[in-house]
Amino acid sequence: MPVKNFVVGCFTEEPAVFKAVKKVRGSGYKLHDIYSPYPVHGLDEAMGLRQTSLHTAGFFYGLFGVIAALGGMAFITVHSWPLNFDGKPHFPLPSFIPITFEFTVLVSSVGMTLTFCWLNQLMPYVRKHLFHPRQTDDLIVMVIERTGKTTDEELKKWFADMGAIEISAQRAETGWWYGSYAKPAPYETAIGSEQAVTS
């Protein structure tokens, strides 16, 4: 995955972030991402991100669950080993409903959670670059990629105008890699840690 240059601004108040997002979209700067310690409602919309399709995926997993449960039980009780209980039907739908329901919920939940992990690249031992250690504590951290069209100084000044309380320029991996959080990131050792984070 590529290592890129970023300028990072930290905010404490939500309104300042919303204002900065609105500004950055008209300015031509390349907004990388925003990190926050809690869900900031409306920020995805403000950034112009599309709504997630996780719900739709959940529906289809559920549909698969219904079909698998009913189909499985039908196969077993009608085809594989039909048993005659007092001449009752081999496929008694009402008494199959509880298992069908439970299995639907199970498949849908497990499927959605795995999809959630897949989309967010969440897995034990997966590591990503952390722009600020307080982004999971009390800061809303906005990250802009420094492209050829702009400079660190310009972006830093822009962040200062937006009311960021802490601003830094960083060189960081954009994707994820396998690694322990207890060790330095591989690209940091490769290019030297003082080059990796310069403020």
Partner 1 sequence: MSLKYESTVREPLINGTKDFHQVTEDIVRPIEGKPGKLWYLGLYISVALLLFGVFSVTWEVYYGIGVWGVNKTVDWAWAITNFVWWVGIGHAGTLISAILLLFRQGWRTGVNRAAEAMTIFAVMCAGQFPIWHVGRVWDVFFIFPYPNTRGPLWPNFNSPLLWDVFAVSTYFTVSVLFWYAGLLPDMATIRDRAKTKLRKFLYGVAAMGWTGSVKNWQRTEALFIVLAALATPLVLSVHSVVSMDFATSVIPGWHTTIFPPYFVAGAIFSGFAMVQTLLIVTRKILHLEEYITLGHIEAMNKVIMLTGGIVAVAYCSEFFVAWYSGDFGEGGAFWWRVNGPYWWAWWCLITCNVICPQMFWFKKLRRNIAFTFFMSIIINIGMWFERFVIIVLSLYHDWLPSSWSYFSPKWPDIGFYVGTFGLFFTCYFLFAKYFPVIAIHEIKHVLKTSGESYKATMGAIEKESTEEFAEGVAHAAAH
**Binding interface with partner 1 (CB under 8 A):** 15, 18-19, 22, 33-44, 46-47, 49, 51-52, 54-55, 58, 62, 72-73, 76-77, 80-81, 85, 92, 95-96, 98-99, 101-103, 105-106, 108-110, 112-113, 116-117, 119-128, 130, 133-138, 176, 180-182
User: Which H or E run includes 126?
Assistant: strand 126-128
* Minimum CB distance to partner 1 smaller for 79 or for 149: 79
* Minimum CB distance to partner 1 smaller for 35 or for 159: 35
Cα-based distances in Å from 90 to 55, 82, 100, 130: 35, 7, 16, 58
Q: Which residues pair with 170 in a beta bridge?
A: 6, 197
Task: Report the candidate in 79, 126, 72, 119 with the shortest Cα–Cα distance to residue 96.
Answer: 72
Q: Are 175 and 1 in contact (CB under 8 A)?
A: yes
In angstroms, give the least distance from the CB of 156 to partner 1. 22
Find how far residue 188's CA is from the centre of its chain: 24
In angstroms, give the least distance from the CB of 146 to partner 1. 19
- From the number of C-beta atoms within 10 Å of its C-beta (0-12, 13-18, 19+), residue 3 rates as middle
In angstroms, give the least distance from the CB of 109 to partner 1. 5
In angstroms, give the least distance from the CB of 149 to partner 1. 24
Neighbours of 118 (CB within 10 A): 11
* Minimum CB distance to partner 1 smaller for 151 or for 189: 189
* Minimum CB distance to partner 1 smaller for 5 or for 72: 72
Which tokens go with 167? 């601003």
In angstroms, give the least distance from the CB of 34 to partner 1. 5
* Minimum CB distance to partner 1 smaller for 149 or for 180: 180
